[in-house]
Amino acid sequence: MANTDNINDPERGERIAKVLARLGVASRREAEKLIDAGRVMLNGETVTSPATFVTPQDKIEVDGQKTAKKQRPRLFLYHKPAGLITTAKDPEGRPTVFEKLPDGLPRLISVGRLDLNTEGLLLLTNDGGLSRLLELPSTGLKRTYRVRVHKADGNRDKTPLAEKLESIKDGLVWKGIKYGAIDAHVNAQQKKDGYNTWINMTLTEGKNREIRNVMEAMGYEVSRLIRTAYGPFDLGDLERGAVFEISTRLLKEKLPPEIVKEIF
């Protein structure tokens, strides 16, 4: 068994689950599952605790394969099409984001997720630590979406949608879940078709199905959802299915100083 006698000694190094995440092997939570399953070895011994500390000199193996050395943190913008699952493997056999990425990319993990039918900007990185920091609500990175909605069947409320959107600027509670402040307004340049309405929404929490649930609370259904920005990164004119890497210099310029300090 791997030695964990000094797991509380900061000079021992970093916790192995964190190291695996930083190497892009898996998220920290997924790394803990790998350890629980006995699939991780440290210097030839099975790791039994995600709190085990390691140093750069230690040798880590996952499923009998040596992990790669630490690479420089890299971040990619990906224009996700609808119809793809944001996971490494789907038990139902549906196509995944990672199966559709162009060849030649390093092993990547996503920064958060976009659900099956959501399109637009998905951030991908080879560094689990960077992914975690970009996801944290405390970092304050805003997510912006273009949302096409229409009234749900049975909705007889004649209150203008613009007025309803104004009411969620301080957040709301729906089905026992509290959602934070949301900046939302009707897109002034939308095409009127008498049925659908395009709105712009910006939020910071990014809870599961947040926009769809918030619109449901107001009596509307989402028929299309496109993320256009995540923090300082914009989808711009990136073509559907395309990937663009942000340079290290630009990363350091755009990311919050506290993230740059920890990652670089």
Quick check: is 153 catalytic? no
Among 46, 45, 110, smallest CA distance to 76 is for: 110
Among 115, 131, 135, smallest CA distance to 211 is for: 115
Residue 213 phi, psi dihedral angles, 5° rounding: -70, -40
Active-site position among 115, 153, 157, 234: 115
Strand partners, 233: 230
Provide CB contacts within 8 A for 90, sequence distance 6+. Answer: 96
Report yes or no: 101 and 79 within 8 Å, Cβ to Cβ: no
Among 95, 99, 122, smallest CA distance to 228 is for: 122
> Measured in whole angstroms, how far is the alpha carbon of residue 9 from the centre of its chain?
32
Which amino acid, 131?
S
Per-residue exposure over 166-181, b if at least 16 CB sit within 10 Å of its own CB, e if not: eebeeebebeeeebee
User: Catalytic positions, please?
Assistant: 115
